Each structure stands twice: as C-alpha cells, then as structure tokens.
C-alpha cells in the first residue's frame, strides 16, 4: 500500500509563490513504474487535476496552471514536488498528491489508486 504525505501548504498573497512536497513510501514494485500527480479540490467543487509526471519526467499540466506551476520528482528521495508561482485567489484549494502504476502521465483522478491526506493552499487577494 503506497503511502503519500504532503507538506508545504500555507497562506500567501496573490502573486506570491509556494512549494509543495509529497514524500512517498511503500511502493509495490519500482517507484519508477508509477505516475505521480497533484490534484486540488476547492470547497463545493470537484477534484481537478493540476499536474502529472511519468517515469521519464514527461509532464501534463491543467491549462489553468500551465506556465505558473512546475511539477518535478526525485526518484532517489521518492519525493514529488509542485512549485507554484504567480498564485491567484482561484488557486485556493486542498492540494493532494496521488500515484498510480502507469507508464505515462495521467491527469484523470478516477485512474489513481493512492492518495495523500492533502495540504491546504490559501491565496488572498
């Protein structure tokens, strides 16, 4: 059972930056066989994909964050990152780290098997 623990959330003013981390453990098989991703969910809204990265570090971004957010993974540390810049109030949400065994990057939450508990990001105007 893969375990995912997010950290780095907090409050920031619009235009600011914030970095999230997700430490992964207990992979079944090599960690490189997993696609890792970030999702977010704001109150009253559905969970949406933010960014995803595969074992070859190929990435997918939601159009709303492309050019502002950067996803990265460190295989040696089994850690996933999300660097967020030019933050907007509409980026306010609970951010979740997720993993699924897949050779390619995916951004559909229904495919993901493992989820972290989430970390809150609040952007004030």
Non-local CB neighbours of 104 within 8 Å, separated by 6+ positions: 35, 54, 58
At residue 28, the pLDDT reads 85
pLDDT, tens digit (0-9, with 9 covering 90-100), for 45-87: 999 999 999 999 999 999 999 999 999 999 899 999 999 999 9
Residue 80's closest CA among 5, 26, 23?
A: 23
pLDDT above 90: residue 22: yes
Q: What percentage of the chain's residues is helix, strand, coil (to nearest 5)?
A: 5, 50, 40
Question: If pLDDT is split at 50, 70 and 90, which confidence band does 30 have?
Answer: confident
């Amino acid at each position: 059972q893969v375990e995912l623990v997010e950290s780095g959330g907090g409050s920031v003013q619009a235009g600011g930056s914030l970095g999230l981390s997700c430490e992964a453990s207990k992979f079944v098989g090599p960690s490189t066989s997993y696609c890792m991703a970030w999702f977010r969910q704001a109150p009253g809204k559905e969970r949406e994909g933010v960014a995803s990265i595969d074992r070859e570090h190929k990435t997918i971004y939601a159009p709303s964050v492309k050019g502002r957010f950067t996803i990265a993974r460190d295989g040696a540390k089994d850690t996933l990152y999300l660097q967020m810049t030019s933050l907007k109030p509409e980026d306010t949400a609970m951010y979740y780290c997720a993993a699924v065994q897949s050779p390619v990057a995916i951004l559909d939450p229904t495919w993901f098997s493992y989820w972290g508990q989430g970390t809150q990001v609040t952007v004030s105007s």
